[in-house]
Amino acid sequence: MTPRTTRVCAILAAALLLPAAGQAQGYRLRLDAGVQSVRFRGYQLDSVAISDVDTLPDGSLESSDGFAVDCGSAAAFCSFFRPGAEQSSTPLVATADLTLWGLGIRGLSVRLNGRYGTDLSDDAEWPGTEPGLQLLEGFVEYAAAPTWGVRAGRQVQTGRLGYYGYDGGRVVVRAPSTGLEATGYLGLGLARGALVPITSAAANPLGEYRPAESQLVAGATASWITPVVELNGEYQREVDRTSDYFTSERIALSGTLRPAARVSLVGGSEYDIAQGFFGTTDVSVRYTTQPWGAVAGWRRYRPHFDLWTIWGAFSPVPYNAGYASAFVNPIRGLQLRLRGERYQFDDAEAESPLVTIESEGWRASGGASYRLTPAWLMDLGYHKQFGPGAASEGWDGAVTFTPTARVTLTAHGNSLDRPLEYRYDEARLVTLGLEGEFAASDNLRIALTATRYDEDRERPDAASFEWDQLRLGARVVLLFSSGADRAALPPARVRRPAGR
């Protein structure tokens, strides 16, 4: 066996043996493995001497065999991309999620969640397979009744400020009778949006600017939840341990108000203390009842970048958007939905005398789903958008057949047209696929997929080749459990005890 195959077998064998080693404890183990076969074509960089370049009547430049070329000032050669050879890739991803409890101390539990990814082919390395082995979560938790708890290890903090992983500790304090909860955490932060250290090669878009060591992260959250009001506050700071300077410091507030039945007001805002401006802010009003519902809102989006990155130097411009959506169920089994949004970017305060730049755009979508019978479900949707840089429109649809509770079959398709304002070509993509899922038992699920991608690049030169792909996939999900988490409910009381 190859080294990669050996590592996969070792991980799966260890995961299967863990339940047998912990028969005295409660456990729940979920194994999820998927493999995909992909055939695709890429680009191949090529060049041609400037003396062999032809100038067309419209002023554009082409190679002698018809490829549009890019020639720099005073360059002896011009570059272009020609179709590459067909390649195949076979990415495999396996995850294991294990929870242990009943370890001799009431309230003590262990959580492990790991991922292994690799490419079984030799032609190309599939994106996201390095590093191959990742520990997504791995912590020990102690919960003392409902009032407080502690956790130590690799864990993930989620909230208004985003998705953030760190290696450290967390303390939670609750007052259940009042709806109050507070959390504090401290540790070594991982890369933003990825569960790897910032020093990992997988987080190396700008290696010369990255901190030399993992950053120190500290934060706190507080919430107050009642049937009418929900309030949440967050604070987080990151410090570069090599320089003691902040790389990020932010606060956020969010909340929900339910002034009447079926009506809710939801909103929140972020403030970047390190850079001194407000981040993303939004507010919306929602009304939901049985036959219909609607949402209307406004948001101001501004991306966040750590101070160590170079992206903040480009002064990203925020945009403001107003949106509304609604759904209605006019008859039994039928739902109609509609959504629209209008957005506009702030003034970039940059002069562009030779070109006119669009600063506003819109998005719209609609669709319908209809359950013909308990076994048949049909869905159809349409979307269209136009804005700075690009526009797109397309359809998507699916038909799902569920003959039994254990079998689900789905046929789906969609189309996407993308006229690109700043590109030389337009692209049209059509996708057709089949999916089947079979629940062999309560502990085993098997899924098979087949998807065909037909993509055409409409260009006036020889680079208008097809980008067709065929993807075949298989997935297996195994669930092991001690059964302690599926204990039978106590007998129901058929008579109410007499009382005063």
Report CA Rg, the chain: 28
Q: Give the residue-averaged pLDDT of 385-402.
A: 91
Distance in angstroms (rounded) separating the CA atoms of residues 340 and 298? 12
Given a cut of 80, whether residue 209 has pLDDT beyond it is no
Ranking 41-55, 102-116, 363-377 by mean pLDDT, the lowest is 41-55
| pLDDT greater at residue 18 or residue 196 | 196
pLDDT band at 75 (very low <50, low <70, confident <90, very high): confident
| Tokens matching residue 164 | 């953030």
Q: Residue 344 CB: number of other CB atoms within 10 A?
A: 16
Average pLDDT of 225-237? 95
Flag whether 500 is in a domain.
no
The CA–CA distances, whole Å, from 369 to 157, 422, 431 equal 36, 36, 20
Residue-level pLDDT at 489: 41
Residue 473 to residues 33, 77, 81, 199, 358, Cα–Cα distance (Å): 11, 43, 30, 33, 41
In a domain, 34, yes or no: no
Residue 374 forms part of a structural domain: yes
CB atoms within 10 A of CB 8: 20
How many domains in the chain? 1
Say what the pLDDT of residue 22 is. Answer: 47
Greatest Cα-to-Cα distance within the chain, rounded to the nearest angstrom: 104
- pLDDT at 494 > cutoff 50: no
How confident is the model at residue 487, as a pLDDT?
45
Which has more pLDDT, 151 or 63? 151
In a domain, 408, yes or no: yes
Cβ neighbors of 357 (< 8 A, separation 6 or more) are: 388
Domain that holds residue 381: 329-483
Task: Spell out the long-range contacts of 149-158 with Cβ–Cβ below 8 A and sequence spacing 24 or more.
Answer: 149/107, 154/195, 156/195, 157/185, 157/219, 157/236
Give the Cα separation of 395 and 367 in Å (integer). Answer: 9
Q: How confident is the model at residue 8 (pLDDT cuts 50, 70, 90)?
A: very low
> Residue 31 pLDDT more than 90?
yes
Q: Residue 279: exposed, middle, or buried by beta-carbon count in 10 A (0-12, 13-18, 19+)?
A: buried
Phi, psi of 239 (to 5 degrees): -125, 135
177 within a domain of the structure (yes/no): no
Instruction: Judge whether 424 and 411 are in contact, CB under 8 Å.
Output: no
436-488 tens-digit pLDDT? 999 999 899 999 999 999 988 777 777 777 778 899 999 999 999 886 555 44
> Position of tokens 């979508």?
365
pLDDT beyond 70 at 424: no
pLDDT reported for residue 412: 97
Q: Render the burial of 351-367: b for 16+ CB within 10 Å, e for the rest.
A: eeeeeeeeeebbbebbb
Q: Which two tokens stand for residue 282?
A: 């939004």
Confidence at residue 485, expressed as pLDDT on a 0 to 100 scale: 53
pLDDT of residue 463: 76
What is the pLDDT at residue 368?
A: 97
What pTM was computed for the model? 0.80
What pLDDT score was predicted for residue 474?
97
Q: Mean of the per-residue pLDDT values for the chain?
A: 85
Residue with more model confidence, 498 or 80: 80
> What is the model's pLDDT at position 421?
60
Residue 190 in any domain: the answer is no
Note whether residue 463 is domain-resident: yes
Are 321 and 361 a contacting pair, CB within 8 Å? no
Percent of the chain at pLDDT above 90?
A: 52
Confidence (pLDDT) at 488: 45
Cα–Cα distance, 278 to 165 (Å, whole number): 23
pLDDT in tens, 249-304: 999 999 999 999 899 999 999 999 988 899 999 999 999 998 999 999 999 999 98
The answer to whether the beta carbons of residues 374 and 333 sit under 8 Å apart is: no
pLDDT band at 84 (very low <50, low <70, confident <90, very high): confident
The mean per-residue pLDDT over the stretch 231-242 comes to: 93
- What confidence score (pLDDT) does residue 213 get? 85
Q: Which 3-state string (H, E, C) describes the chain?
A: CCHHHHHHHHHHHHHHHHHHHCCCCEEEEEEEEEEEEEEEEEEEEEEEEHHHCEECCCCCEECCCCCECECCCCCCEEEEEEEEEEEEECEEEEEEEEEEECCCCCCEEEEEEEEEEEECCCCCCCCCCCCCEEEEEEEEEEEECCCEEEEEEEEEEEECCEEEEEEEEEEEEEECCCCEEEEEEEEEEECCCCCCECCCHHHCCCHHHCCCCCCEEEEEEEEEECCCEEEEEEEEEEEECCCCEEEEEEEEEEEEEEEECCEEEEEEEEEECCCCEEEEEEEEEEEECCCEEEEEEEEEECCCCCCCCCHHHHCCCCEEEEEEEEEECCCCCEEEEEEEEEEEECCCCCCCCCCCCCCEEEEEEEEEEEEEECCEEEEEEEEEEEECCEEEEEEEEEEEEEEECCEEEEEEEEEEEEEECCCCCEEEEEEEEEEEEEEEECCEEEEEEEEEEEEEEECCCCCCCECCEEEEEEEEEEEEECCHHHCCCCCCCCCCCCCC
- Give me 394's structure tokens: 């397309």
Asked if 232 contacts 159 with a C-beta cutoff of 8 angstroms, the reply is yes
* pLDDT per position as a tens digit, 87-114: 888 999 999 999 999 888 888 999 999 9
Residue 167 has pLDDT above 60, yes or no: yes
- Is residue 84, in this structure, part of any structural domain at all? no
β-strands 61-62, 229-240 pairing: unpaired
